[in-house]
Amino acid sequence: MMQKFYLILFLIIIINQSAMNQEDNYQWLEEVNGIKALDFVREQNTATFSVLSKENNYQSIYNKSLEIANSPEKIAEPTIIDSFVYNLWKDNQHVRGLWRRCRLNDYTNGNPQWETLLDIDALSLQDNVKWVLKGASGLYPTYNKFLVQLSNGGGDAVITKEFDGDKKQFISNGFFIDESKGNSAYVNENTIIVSSNFGEGTMTKSGYPRQVKLWNRGTLLQDAQLIFEGSVDDVRSVGFVLHDEMTSYIAIERSLTFYTSKYYIWSGSRPIELDIPIDCSIVGLQKNQLIIHLKSDWELNNSIYKSGSLISLTISELLIGNRIVSVIIEPNEFTSISESVTNTRNYLLVRVLTNVIDHLYSFTFINEKWVQQKVYTPEFGAIVRISADEFSDQFFFQFESFLKPTTLYFANASNNTSKKISSLPEYFDASKYEVNQYKAKSKDGTLVPYFIIHSKRIAYNSSNPCLLNAYGGFEISRTPFYLGLLGEAWLDKGGVFVLANIRGGGEYGPKWHQAGLKEKRQNVFDDFFAVSEDLISKKITSPQHLGIMGGSNGGLLVGVAFTQRPDLYKAVVCEVPLLDMQRYNKLLAGASWMAEYGNPDIPEEWEYIKKYSPYHNLKKGMLYPELFFITSTRDDRVHPGHARKMLAKMNDLGYKSYYYENTEGGHAGSSTNEQKAKSNALKFSFFLMKLR
């Protein structure tokens, strides 16, 4: 009897393992640079371009996109470092960019005298490498030296080379870190903190460093002092430096999952773990106050600090075990607080979303409490970028809305003044259009907000071509943005544009995000369907004229949408997507996202993942909308194999689909303005062909 029981149990295990490991006939397409795989890519690219480039508006959209990207009137986005403004500038003469700077006073007076620090095009030609500048970390407080990060083709992995800002050249025998997904920062002129690929066994399963070292100038990287080592099952471990006037702290973040971390301060010869919630984020340091963003309620000293709040702890006390908390700002049910907190010398600058509309506040720490004042910004839009001077209270911010061009302001937090510096030109006639915000009721009764932009003379006859875009993941908020190219390429062609703020994002704080995690993922998709159905019920559009587009996690969203509800849509653009949710955690950085989606290797979790995994839910004989997949060979975050395999499977099932894979560009999809213009032209040409 027992033998029979164990035989049945064994058969059940075998059946389950077989179900978990269904034969994948397209796995060869995961070989990024495989000869057969690249031949497949070239064949698909050629077929797609030959069709979509013939759409009547292709060339005009391409030209307009390139004109906008290369325009001398565009804002030279400023980053304040000491008394300079730094900027990466791209145009038709400098397709990879000039890293340059000018005096802050000259910039604000409208007369910048730019000096080139590094010509990325010239460097690419010299090295025969398609370099993309990914960032530069400066030496505090002089900023005469930088650790410059360069990516080959735009991927996340970078090499790091030390650069002399005064001499405008790389430093011979300076700090150099070979290609890796990692980071580095100056501790002082002769010491940097480094997380990198230090060799076998030093990376996590997610493909990120798990070791942090202190490296002294003039020594070998292999001999650098190991100060921290995380687990191979962590997401990553990184080091950074917190500056607070005359005090600096060497800090370490050990990311256990995508949303949980332990933080340490290196003191003398050991790391001191900070006694703060595991799911909070450190976002700054000012006036001995460590600024953290809470993701769940925190009960401490008979008080409850609410999820989503921004609070501070006295860091000198925290390091000796005392937790003294001050509340900076606490959200309500309609607001969320951005983690992109920026420091001036005496103020914190904090973005607050109220019903998905941005507001900006400044806070200063006086008499052991935070004092708030509202900073002037235009209404009904988004603050897309803030750059502050850490040595004064001056800062820049950029503001934009759907119909008003991005505008740059220069402000001073100490006297709460601001002035307009520059603005983008108007790339389309916005006077013909209007913006509205509605809420759709999701399957479980949740009200989901969305923005809609259309002609003031719209006819509610169900025949308007409509594009619906959303993201729905990783607590990322989708806020208003200037439509620019979309205005001419889509609105002026009679189209309607919709931006949905579905769950999974951060529009209403951590709880809005957490409502779409793991086994709750279907809420995200149901929200998207609810917005789609609301547009149809309002007779704004119909399934024959409704198109959807999304990238990355948004690519997964639209992949699920067309497999679960093909009846709602006519055309889909799916960019740099996740689609094979059984193997996503084995491809590139995928393992780092299991806190978002779940672990498909655990049967209980695969049970809910498999219900929506687009790759596994394709069926023969369905009336699917037409698909256009866009990805990049150099995407080292979301594997291009997702899009490749989905296309190949759809082709073999007899579905007509389009595909375009840029050979560089990383997860952004494009490295140059020309590449972006081509992608834009293909995308809008596809929608114009299918939805009008």
DSSP string of 100-138, one letter each residue: EEEEHHHHHTT----EEEEEHHHHHHHHTS-EEEEEEEE
Q: CA-CA distance, 416 to 373, in Å (whole number)?
A: 8
**For 209, which DSSP code?**
B
| Exposed e or buried b per residue across 315-346, where buried means at least 16 C-beta atoms within 10 angstroms of its C-beta | beebeeeeeebeebbebeeebbbbbebbbbbb
Q: CA-CA distance, 160 to 320, in Å (whole number)?
A: 36
Q: CA-CA distance, 657 to 412, in Å (whole number)?
A: 52
pLDDT grade for 93, boundaries at 50, 70 and 90: very high
Q: CA-CA distance, 339 to 515, in Å (whole number)?
A: 19
At 5, which helix (H) or strand (E)? helix 2-20
Using an 8 Å Cβ cutoff, are 631 and 643 in contact?
A: yes
pLDDT grade for 46, boundaries at 50, 70 and 90: very high
Mean pLDDT of 162-178: 97
Q: CA-CA distance, 675 to 69, in Å (whole number)?
A: 11
Catalytic residue positions?
A: 552, 667
Using an 8 Å Cβ cutoff, are 416 and 371 in contact?
A: no
pLDDT digits (tens, 9 = 90+) for 136-166: 999 999 999 999 999 999 999 999 999 999 9
pLDDT digits (tens, 9 = 90+) for 240-295: 999 998 899 999 999 999 999 999 999 988 999 999 999 999 999 999 999 999 99
Using an 8 Å Cβ cutoff, are 136 and 147 in contact?
A: yes
Q: What is the pLDDT of residue 14?
A: 37
- The answer to whether residue 132 scores a pLDDT higher than 90 is yes
Spatial strand order of the sheet with 325-329 comes to 281-286, 289-293, 310-314, 325-329
Helix, strand and coil percent figures for the chain, each rounded to 5: 25, 35, 40
pLDDT digits (tens, 9 = 90+) for 393-442: 999 999 999 999 999 999 999 999 999 999 999 999 999 999 999 999 99
Q: What is the pLDDT of residue 189?
A: 97
Q: CA-CA distance, 408 to 424, in Å (whole number)?
A: 9
pLDDT grade for 339, boundaries at 50, 70 and 90: confident
Say what angle helices 553-564 and 522-537 make with each other, to 10 degrees.
Answer: 60
Percent of the chain with pLDDT over 70: 97
- The answer to whether residue 539 scores a pLDDT higher than 50 is yes
Alpha carbon 408 to its chain centroid, in Å, reads 22
Q: CA-CA distance, 620 to 632, in Å (whole number)?
A: 28
Strand 496-500, strand 342-343: pairing:
unpaired
Report in angstroms the alpha-carbon separations of 246 from 249, 264, 429: 10, 20, 51
Tell me the sheet residues that pair with 115. Answer: 101
Query: If you compute the radius of gyration of the chain from its CA atoms, what whole number of angstroms results?
Result: 26
Alpha carbon 83 to its chain centroid, in Å, reads 29
Q: CA-CA distance, 514 to 449, in Å (whole number)?
A: 17
CATH (residue range 40-65+427-691): 3.40.50.1820
Residue 560: CB atoms within 10 A of its CB come to 25
Q: Which of 229, 147, 230 is nearest to 183 (CA)?
A: 147
Q: What SS3 string covers 627-650? A: EEEEEECCCCCCCCHHHHHHHHHH
Mean pLDDT of 176-191: 97
pLDDT digits (tens, 9 = 90+) for 288-314: 999 999 999 999 989 999 999 999 999
Q: Which of 340, 379, 383, 377 is nearest to 479 (CA)?
A: 383
Tokens 């480039």: give the residue: 53
- Which conformational region is residue 97 in: left (phi greater than 0), alpha (psi within -120 to 50 degrees), or beta? left
pLDDT digits (tens, 9 = 90+) for 488-509: 999 999 999 999 999 999 999 9
Tell me the sheet residues that pair with 658. Answer: 628
Query: What sign has the CA pseudo-torsion 294, 140, 363, 396?
Result: negative
Residues in the chain: 692
Mean pLDDT of 553-561: 98
Q: What mean pLDDT is reported for the chain?
A: 95
Q: CA-CA distance, 378 to 394, in Å (whole number)?
A: 19
Residue 109: CB atoms within 10 A of its CB come to 10
Spell out the domain ranges in the chain: 40-65+427-691
Q: What is the pLDDT of residue 612?
A: 98
Using an 8 Å Cβ cutoff, are 494 and 488 in contact?
A: no
Q: What is the pLDDT of residue 636?
A: 94
For the chain, the distance separating the N- and C-terminal CA atoms, rounded to the nearest angstrom, is 68
Using an 8 Å Cβ cutoff, are 545 and 466 in contact?
A: yes
Q: What is the pLDDT of residue 22?
A: 58
pLDDT digits (tens, 9 = 90+) for 456-480: 999 999 999 999 999 999 999 999 9
pLDDT grade for 20, boundaries at 50, 70 and 90: very low
Q: What is the pLDDT of residue 245?
A: 84
pLDDT grade for 119, boundaries at 50, 70 and 90: very high
Say what angle helices 641-652 and 553-564 make with each other, to 10 degrees.
Answer: 20
Q: Which of 574, 542, 582 is nearest to 558 (CA)?
A: 574
Using an 8 Å Cβ cutoff, are 146 and 162 in contact?
A: yes
